[in-house]
Structure 1
Amino acid sequence: MNIALVTSSAFPGKDWSDRDTPLLRAALEEQGCATQVLSWDESPGIDWTAFDVVAVQSPWNMWLKLAEFREWVESLHRQGVRLANQYPIIVGGMSKEYLPQVEQHGAKTIPTTVVRPGEGIGAIAAETLARAGRDFGEHAVVVKPISSGGTLGAARVTEERELVAKLAAFDQAGVTACVQPYVSTIDSLGENGIIMIEGEFSHAITKDAILAPGRAGTQFHPNARTGYTEHGEDLADIHATYDAYLKTVPVHPVSVRLDFLRHPVTGRLLLLEIESVAPVKFFHLYPAAAARYARSLIAVTAGSPLVRR
């Protein structure tokens, strides 16, 4: 069995690193698989159809050249290449426009306002800041490109004038943006990442805020650590969120990561985003999960796509 693990020719920042792929590669080879680690953007002449499965691991410079990455994924799809997370999962995960859809299917989310070029920026800025203050107790929002990762292009904003300027810059560049309330619990409790493998809760991590006031942080999962502080209704919230997500996609993913923050009043988990293109799974914190995911990739080669009924 021959499996390709896909990375990038370079990462967007000097602090970005892929710690999952070496551990996954070792786990696959322990189970008798041949593996190759290849860059999606710098592997000329590669016959991707020669692999039993292609697992997109760390193509993170994609956020800087989205059109090229999408064309690469579409090329693989046209050729019938078997992707671990299938084509609609990857393409759908490239834009956070899925968040309002997931909310419509019953997930509790951090409200996401999508701002397309040409829309009324002033009214949107005023309303989103007012909503943040009304619903979350602080007139602060995060504004970022609708297609981004690792806080690339993101900023925490507290003033309407600054938010208008940020949105105007996106508008001028022809970039769709999104605005979310800045939920202050991330500063004290961190952000929780829930890794799902084959539809089941595998493991959880907590990481620090990047955009906290006065904090000079990293852009890549600062202080990631095992586990999270559980509350009584957490598992129900996690499974309800995942079930809502499944209603928005035509096939089941092999693995995604659900990122949550806690509501400052109710303590309930609120979905921040779903990482489905190339979710970091933090195998260095949970080595056994690498072997589990390796088994899932092997199973992908034996089965037909799991279509949602």
Structure 2
Amino acid sequence: MARIALASSASHVDDAELDLLRRAVQDLGHDAAVEVWDDDAVDWHDYALTVVRTTWDYTDRHDEFLAWTRRVPRLRNRSDVIAWNTHKTYLRDLARAGCPVIPTAWDVTDADVLATHADAWGVGVGAAEWVVKPAVSAGSRDTARWTDADDALSHSRDLVESGRTAMLQPYVASVDSDGETAVLFAGGEYSHAVVKGAMLTQGEGVRDDRDSRERITPTVATDAQIDVARRALRAAGDALGGGLDLLYARVDLVTSPEGTPQVIELELTEPSLFLPYVDGAAERFAAAITSTVNSLGRV
């Protein structure tokens, strides 16, 4: 038996997926506990493994969170992976490695610069829709979909002026009809996939209460989707200089205008794994936790 910590934020210790994973880990004979990541009373050295899970308040305390990841022994995913993945400039690394990603411009505050990017992407400034969001974010916070380029620029400027890195992307129309496909990996192996319905609505601006509208449907990832997801994971490994030793991974894909899978996000920090939606998913991740513990050696 090993002692396993599932790290959470104080406001998400009762998350249903977290409890499902905890029970699946216990069913394998381990002692699994939910611990709050910023609770100074927790001795993380007491655990054979700490798994980052519902630490969803980290975006407002990014530096503090990264410092915590560096202090915790036997953390998965690893602290260097998390540091790289919690800033969405990682998309640059994926693109440089030839992985298909949504075109992204950074810190755009000038209309001429936006027009240059739009031309390079083959979209019309006046006809295109835009998504603007901060590079450190979760759950669509401070994210919006704009039909007017001036509104998109204003949003991007606001983020830059507040000291954050702003991302500007063309809105992918297929999301409205097909949603996003999340491809999940446990211990490096494909586990399951779900389709997430569109979250951003035309004309609503910046909102932080979209979780209630999330629609999740189980699906089977296509060979092409799994291939692109694996390419993204390989590119992440190359960017970090070697094997990632990932316990969990989620690759979010959309369908490009050409009809091929395209990476919108690579989630290696604290993604929802959608365990309640797919039979056996919690058990697969619990088994991956056991394998990781065995590889590290128990305490």
Q: Offset of 1:46 from its aligned partner?
A: 1.1
Q: Offset of 1:97 from its aligned partner?
A: 0.7
Partner of 2:178: 189
Taking a change above 3 Å as real, the CA distance of residues 74 and 233 of structure 1, as seen in their structure-2 partners, is closer
Q: Offset of 1:19 from its aligned partner?
A: 2.8
Aligned counterparts, 1:76-225, within 5 A: 76=72, 81-115=73-107, 121-131=110-120, 134=123, 138-213=127-202, 218-219=210-211, 222-225=214-217
Task: List gaps (5 residues or longer) in structure 2.
Answer: none
Partner of 2:259: 267
Partner SS, residue 139 of structure 1: coil
Aligned counterparts, 1:37-56, within 5 A: 37-41=34-38, 43-56=39-52
Looking at structure 2, the residues matched to 39 and 220 of structure 1 have their Cα atoms a distance apart, in angstroms, of 24
Partner of 1:276: 268
Partner of 2:233: 242
The answer to whether the 8 A contact 1:133-1:139 is kept is no
Partner of 2:10: 9
> Which of 53, 59, 64 is the equivalent residue of 1:63?
59
Looking at structure 2, the residues matched to 239 and 221 of structure 1 have their Cα atoms a distance apart, in angstroms, of 29
> Which of 248, 257, 260 is the equivalent residue of 2:250?
257
Looking at structure 1, the residues matched to 5 and 213 of structure 2 have their Cα atoms a distance apart, in angstroms, of 25
Looking at structure 2, the residues matched to 302 and 255 of structure 1 have their Cα atoms a distance apart, in angstroms, of 16
Matched, 1:23 2:14: no
CA RMSD of aligned residues (A): 2.6
Q: Offset of 1:61 from its aligned partner?
A: 0.9
| TM-score (normalised: structure 1) | 0.86
Looking at structure 2, the residues matched to 156 and 174 of structure 1 have their Cα atoms a distance apart, in angstroms, of 21
- Which amino acid is 2:145 matched to? R
Looking at structure 2, the residues matched to 149 and 17 of structure 1 have their Cα atoms a distance apart, in angstroms, of 19
- Residue deviations 1:71-108 (CA, integer Å, cap 9, x gap): 222232xxxx1012111111111101111111111211
Count of residue pairs brought into register by the alignment? 291
Looking at structure 2, the residues matched to 221 and 134 of structure 1 have their Cα atoms a distance apart, in angstroms, of 29
The answer to whether the 8 A contact 1:262-1:268 is kept is yes
Q: Offset of 1:132 from its aligned partner?
A: 5.3
